Amino acid sequence: MALVVTSYIHLKIKARMPHNHPTLINKRVLLGITGGIAAYKTPDLVRKLAELGAQVRIVMSRGAEQFVTPLALQAVSGHIPHNAQMTAESESGMGHIDLARWADIVLIAPATANFIAQLNQGSGHDLLTTVCLATTASVVVSPAMNQQMWKNSTTAENVASLIERGVAFLGPDSGEQACGDVGPGRMLQPQDLAQQLAGLFQTRELEGKHVMLTAGPTWEAIDPVRGITNHSSGKMGYALAEAAAEAGAHVTLVSGPTSLTAPVNVKTIHVRSAAEMHAAVFADIAEQDIFIGVAAVADYRPVDSSDQKIKKNHDEMTILMTKNPDILADVAALKKPPFCVGFAAETNDVETYARAKLERKKLDLIVANHVGGSETGFGSDDNIITLITSSSKQDLPRASKSQLARHIVSRVAELST
């Protein structure tokens, strides 16, 4: 593990207690708008999604621009909407792939009968349909059409086929329509749609379980202003804490010093050093069903830490180091250990080192990833990981850390039952 000598202000141990309600905080919502009259509601929908904490990007079909202007959507989202065309300029960096990777969830609202048919056929004739084909995120459809079109057997077959393939449908609502008809086919109201979308992240896979995680770096003081740490941002651990809470678990996050906001619905305990992290973990480990050690804990700490700032009086300086406690190994070695998950962040021979760590520490699951690249690993929003047990291996493609966190939680739920 690379060590970085830097300066940091001492953090006192404190806890943020959970508030149990669904949100879209830290969720990336890609909103696809198709050419239905209900598109006039989408500026309000963007506002409602943002109020729940979502980051929103927008892709408009050609027809959508006949009902709502890109300028209005830019004003409420803070970002220029993408249009249907895949131009040479927009695709110079494979724009549709970037959008597909960026999204935690793709919401099509309103979704016309024509778009639903195209989605079912696997069409990729414009940017929106291409993104739906390229994304690994969940695709959610909010239908909006005439009541007879919704009842049409072809539409029903398209909807049933998409549901079977994992596409979620929110709505339609029923009532008076723009054409004067009354019946099912109205797009859900923006407030209801935003709330139901947030609810889709509440999987309940770990309902009632107690989960503890560690995240971020540790800080080993040399003197009051200098210390030894590493490049961990804490993003993966915080994403896992959020995903575990969304899965219904009672989550405790023990975090080293990061710049991240404590997750909602999570009890967060802030610590500084490896020793403080060890103490915080073992203060409550007996109550835990699952332990996930994501933190990049410093392997060593200075034997002596000066009470005063050390002056530059010499050309050389020697710091005697001693080993820190191995938190993950100590948890796994308990007489009745929880289900234990470790992380192996390596610069080379990733799988070899990860398997060795899995066996040496007697873990149930290890998450291996390559660090040191510019697009994945420490500090980045994306990652590429492999889930390894003693008898299985699952490679997950590059995706956002929040998407990967939900995959990891699902695998943990499957293995720990």
User: What predicted TM-score, i.e. pTM, was given to this entire model?
Assistant: 0.84
Do the Cβ atoms of 342 and 328 come closer than 8 Å? Answer: yes
pLDDT digits (tens, 9 = 90+) for 251-274: 999 999 999 999 989 999 999 999
Last residue of a domain, one of 179, 199, 219: 199
pLDDT of 12 > 60? The answer is no
For the record, the structure tokens of 414 come out as 């499957």
Report pLDDT for 13.
Answer: 36
Mean pLDDT (the chain) is 89
CATH number at residue 263: 3.40.50.10300
Strand partners, 141: 108, 169
Residue 366 lies in a domain: yes
Last residue of a domain, one of 166, 199, 232: 199
In 3D space, the residue among 292, 291, 294 whose CA is nearest the CA of residue 230 turns out to be 294
Q: Model confidence at 108, in pLDDT bands (50, 70, 90)?
A: very high
Residue 187 lies in a domain: yes
pLDDT digits (tens, 9 = 90+) for 274-298: 999 999 999 999 999 999 999 999 9
Q: Are residue 194 and residue 234 in the same domain, yes or no?
A: no
Residue 1 lies in a domain: no
Q: Are residue 15 and residue 55 in the same domain, yes or no?
A: no
Report pLDDT for 340.
Answer: 98
Last residue of a domain, one of 172, 199, 226: 199
List the 220-221 sheet strands across, edge first.
4-6, 227-229, 220-221
Q: Are residue 377 and residue 263 in the same domain, yes or no?
A: yes
Do the Cβ atoms of 102 and 30 come closer than 8 Å? Answer: yes
For the record, the structure tokens of 333 come out as 């070695």
Residue 97 lies in a domain: yes
CATH number at residue 97: 3.40.50.1950
Q: Are residue 218 and residue 359 in the same domain, yes or no?
A: yes
Domain membership of residue 260 as a residue range: 9-20+204-416
Active site amino acids: 179
Q: Are residue 109 and residue 40 in the same domain, yes or no?
A: yes
For the record, the structure tokens of 57 come out as 């990007």
CA–CA distance, 396 with 384 (Å, rounded to integer): 6
Whole-angstrom Cα Rg for the chain = 24
Is the pLDDT higher at 364 or at 20? Answer: 364
pLDDT digits (tens, 9 = 90+) for 312-360: 888 888 999 999 999 999 999 999 999 999 999 888 888 999 999 999 9
* 11: DSSP letter: P
Domain count within the chain = 2
Is the pLDDT higher at 179 or at 34? Answer: 34
Report pLDDT for 379.
Answer: 62
Grouping H, G, I as helix, E, B as strand and the rest as coil, residue 223 is: coil
- Indicate the pairing of strand 300-302 with strand 321-323: antiparallel
Place of tokens 């079977």: 164
Do the Cβ atoms of 106 and 137 come closer than 8 Å? Answer: yes
Residue 186 lies in a domain: yes
Q: Model confidence at 20, in pLDDT bands (50, 70, 90)?
A: low
pLDDT digits (tens, 9 = 90+) for 203-230: 999 999 999 999 999 999 999 999 999 8
pLDDT of 91 > 70? The answer is no
Query: What's the distance, Cα to Cα, between the start and end of the chain in Å?
Result: 33
pLDDT digits (tens, 9 = 90+) for 354-382: 999 999 999 999 999 877 665 555 667 88
Please name the residue ranges forming H helices in 287-383: 327-332, 350-360
Q: Are residue 273 and residue 382 in the same domain, yes or no?
A: yes
Q: Taking residues 168-184, what's their average pLDDT?
A: 85
Q: Are residue 315 and residue 338 in the same domain, yes or no?
A: yes
Q: What is the DSSP string of 226-244?
A: -EEE----SHHHHHHHHHH
Q: Are residue 218 and residue 362 in the same domain, yes or no?
A: yes
pLDDT of 306 > 60? The answer is yes
Residue 4 lies in a domain: no
**Residue 351 CB contacts under 8 Å (≥ 6 apart), including other chains:** 368, 386, 388, 393
For the record, the structure tokens of 130 come out as 């291409």
